[in-house]
Amino acid sequence: MNTLTASLSAWPKRQPGVFLIVAAAVWLGLYQLLIPFSEAVVSLLPVQRQSHLGNSLQFFFYDTPKVLLLLTGVVFVMGMVNTWFTPERTRALLAGRTHGVANGMASALGVVTPFCSCSSVPLFIGFVQAGVPLGVTFSFLITAPMVDTVALTLLFSLFGWKVALLYVGFGMLLGIVVGLIMGAMKLERHLEDWVREMPQVSSEVEAQQLGMTDRIAAGMASVREIVGKVWPYVLGGIAVGAGIHGFVPAEFLASFMGKDAAWWSVPLAVVMGVPMYANTAGILPVIEALTAKGAAMGTALAFMMSVVALSLPEMIILRKVLKLRLIVIFVSIVSTGILAVGFIFNALL
């Protein structure tokens, strides 16, 4: 057994190309088995398949391995890609750029880098030290947790390319516009004093010379760190989504979140999302269940955006570096943008 384990662990080092091909084939094979697996598990349980409980269980046993498989695959690939986009290199790319260009770059980097709201404080401090303008920093901090590659992959899996690309486009636009507005307002004086007084550091970084073996190792490390951290949120989100899928009447949700609901359904969804804390992997199964029950896409996505971009825990963390007035300004502008995205999605879809 020890010999077999050692051989498997050494395989990526000896034949990285073959390892990637075999890993991709295994991943695709497992993905094809998701529906038969979920149906087989439910058939072994003492429940009626077409009952509320049976529908909920099938949803849970299908979505759980699906989301975890997608997460593992995407995080592994992006872990390899992110060997070119370390936090230091991200700061170097943004420092010294003109406004507008830098905001667009910051928003695009937010999509391809794996930083979540829990990374807000160290990233914020690092950007300030590197001389990145405040508005550019906010463009990155808005986009990074809200429009990452995990969100794009799961949105495509659940709703198709149209919704996924619209969400990414509007999410990046929101980050750019909010960053430009906050940059024009010259709000640096509302940083906490200790942040403004920090000495600036050079943003120059040396290029990393990594081979394919090193990048595979980085991908595996990302899977262990990120998937190992978010899987409880995934299970929690899917459990909530399964309950909604199986037990909540469609008429009930449609009455206040459907397309024909009152105009205040979008603001209500945003307000409901702020006190919560989840990442896109945990909240998207809930959004899938809500839309399947008749919730309007824009209303559901506005709820998701507020959860991942304006969560109360993130605001508490950011309070360490931002004065209260700046937090209020930030939340107000981002909330307005999320409301606009919600209304536009409801009009388009």
- Where are the domains positioned within the chain? 15-81+212-231, 97-200+248-349
What number of other Cβ atoms are within 10 A of residue 160's Cβ? 10
**Is 164:152 a contact under the CB 8 Å cutoff?**
yes
Higher pLDDT among residues 295 and 40, named by residue: 40
pLDDT tens for 262-272 read: 778 888 888 87
Higher pLDDT among residues 146 and 327, named by residue: 327
Q: 316: which 2 tokens?
A: 């508490």
pLDDT tens for 109-120 read: 777 765 555 555
116 contacts: CB under 8 Å, gap ≥ 6: 144, 145, 148, 279
Q: What is the mean pLDDT of residues 315-330?
A: 81
Residue 306 confidence class, pLDDT cut points 50, 70, 90: confident
Residue 335: predicted pLDDT: 87
**CA proximity to 43, closest of 66, 61, 31, 29:** 61
What number of other Cβ atoms are within 10 A of residue 76's Cβ? 22
Residue 25: predicted pLDDT: 92
| Distance (Å, whole) CA 303 – CA 267 | 9
Residue 4 confidence class, pLDDT cut points 50, 70, 90: very low
Give this prediction's pTM. 0.62
Residue 324: predicted pLDDT: 87
- Give the max Cα distance, the chain: 66
Reply yes or no on whether the pLDDT at 294 is more than 50. yes
Q: 297: which 2 tokens?
A: 């896409």
Q: 320: which 2 tokens?
A: 């360490």
**Is 291:159 a contact under the CB 8 Å cutoff?**
yes
pLDDT tens for 56-103 read: 888 888 878 887 887 788 778 767 776 766 656 666 666 666 667 888
Q: What is the DSSP string of 150-187?
A: HHHHHHHHHH-HHHHHHHHHHHHHHHHHHHHHHHHTT-
Number of residues that this document lists for the chain: 349
Residue 97: predicted pLDDT: 65
pLDDT tens for 273-286 read: 776 666 666 677 77
276 contacts: CB under 8 Å, gap ≥ 6: 307, 311, 312
322 strand-pairing partners: 191
Looking at the chain, the whole-number percentage of residues with pLDDT higher than 70 is: 72
In the block, tokens 């502008």 appear at 333
3-class SS of residue 48: coil
Reply yes or no on whether the pLDDT at 123 is more than 70. no
What number of other Cβ atoms are within 10 A of residue 277's Cβ? 18
Reply yes or no on whether the pLDDT at 203 is more than 50. no
* Dihedral over Cα of 130, 133, 136, 141: its sign: positive
Reply yes or no on whether the pLDDT at 229 is more than 50. yes
| Distance (Å, whole) CA 90 – CA 140 | 10
